Structure 1
Amino acid sequence: CSLMEMQWLHAAPIHSGEYFHGPFEVTNKETPFILLMNEGRTRAMDERALAFLTKYAEKVEVVDAKELGIGVLPPSVVEFFNPVLFYSIMCEYRSALADIRQHP
């Protein structure tokens, strides 16, 4: 929502579990995507979305919690910390985007 409300970008947050229930139809080579890949029970859905995006989209940015080291947390609780990690990353992204676009 920060991309829509603060940066006035055409954007929508879509859970990977919902992606194949309609939103995948907007996937094309011109539409940009940011995929936040979770660690935990929903990772398989994120991987499925990534496989589709890799095939049909060209503007895909992946932020992978596993690559960022969230796996040091116990598997029984790691999925609860994905949002904490992604929130801080998206705050930095939003700030950098505001500077680049000169749109605070």
Structure 2
Amino acid sequence: MISRTWHGMVPLQHKAGFEKYEYETGVKDTLAIKGNQGAFLKVVEQGEFAHFFLCTKWDSMESMIAYAGSEPAIAVTYPEDTKYGLISDPIVIIQEVTDAKNPFED
């Protein structure tokens, strides 16, 4: 199994709106792809920003590529991201994992 973790941040005043938007885009879109094994979102406030971490789990690189495109290590962005003042890391972390558990739960 493979995980793909994206990180981005928005100003605190956009936290609630972007969280809803992230569920409507990144989470919903990844869960719709055959081979997706889960999508998990964690939000952490730090100073004037809310950091978003989206970890998706995949059964194969092929299923991940069906979502992320031919360069799956490059962040997937959406047209309205700028509306929320999103600062997105340009790359994502891809790694082998042993299970489909939520990586953000203790």
Greater CA radius of gyration, 1 or 2?
Answer: 1
Q: Kindly indicate which of the two structures has a greater share of residues assigned to strand.
A: 2
- Tell me the TM-score normalised to structure 2 length: 0.30
Q: Kindly indicate which of the two structures has a greater share of residues assigned to helix.
A: 1
- Tell me the TM-score normalised to structure 1 length: 0.31
